[in-house]
Amino acid sequence: MDNGEPEFGWREFTTPPIQHEAAAELSRLSSAHSEAVEDARKHLAELSASRAEAGRLREALKEARRAIGDHHAPSDCYATGPLTGDPFRDLVQCPACSFIAMYDAALAGEKPVGAEVGTPEQRARAAYHGDTVEEIMAEDALRAALSKSGEKPTATRKGGG
């Protein structure tokens, strides 16, 4: 050997630099890949947290919209609403109308509140009678409960139903 010692066992060959470079590159790529996977996992977790938050906010908005219910300007408009501190809004703007406008803009493209409630037949009857689908469903549930118990349901609707 170079140092004069006798050679035994495995002979060590010097490897060409390109192999070291390739090994270093492989290890660099592998750790870069692990970092990318870790980043992607983090982003995925953040994304799903934002989705959950957006879902909660959307539910809160829908609940508020449901609380306002049918609101037709100007007959349903509030004379005074909760004060906002904005003199224009507090004086002339109906808070329900303003909320509904914001709600419609924010949830544009989503199905209107109550659209997926009930059967298509119940929705058609609700539209025909000018009732909410919830009222129709409550009435149907009442009728079903009464007919089970053998009682005759009294007509709850003008003109029969």
Binding residues for Zn ion (CB under 5 A): 73, 77, 94, 96-97
With b meaning 16 or more CB within 10 Å and e meaning fewer, what string describes 4-32?
A: eeeeeeeeeeeeeeeeeeeeeeeeeeeee
Apex CA 141: angle with CA 138 and CA 143, to 5°? Answer: 110
Nearer to Zn ion, 97 or 126 (CB): 97
Q: What one-character DSSP code corresponds to residue 70? A: S
Nearer to Zn ion, 97 or 133 (CB): 97
CA distance 151 to 153: 6
CA–chain centroid gap for 105, Å, is 15
Shortest separation between residue 89's beta carbon and Zn ion, angstroms = 12
Q: What residue is closest to Zn ion based on CB?
A: 94
Nearer to Zn ion, 71 or 123 (CB): 71
Shortest separation between residue 63's beta carbon and Zn ion, angstroms = 19
Nearer to Zn ion, 73 or 144 (CB): 73
Helix ranges restricted to H, 69-132:
87-92, 95-106, 120-129
Shortest separation between residue 135's beta carbon and Zn ion, angstroms = 22
Nearer to Zn ion, 19 or 75 (CB): 75
- Helix, strand, or coil (residue 154): coil
**Nearest partner of 155 among 141, 137, 133, 139, judged by Cα:** 139
Shortest separation between residue 104's beta carbon and Zn ion, angstroms = 13
Shortest separation between residue 95's beta carbon and Zn ion, angstroms = 8
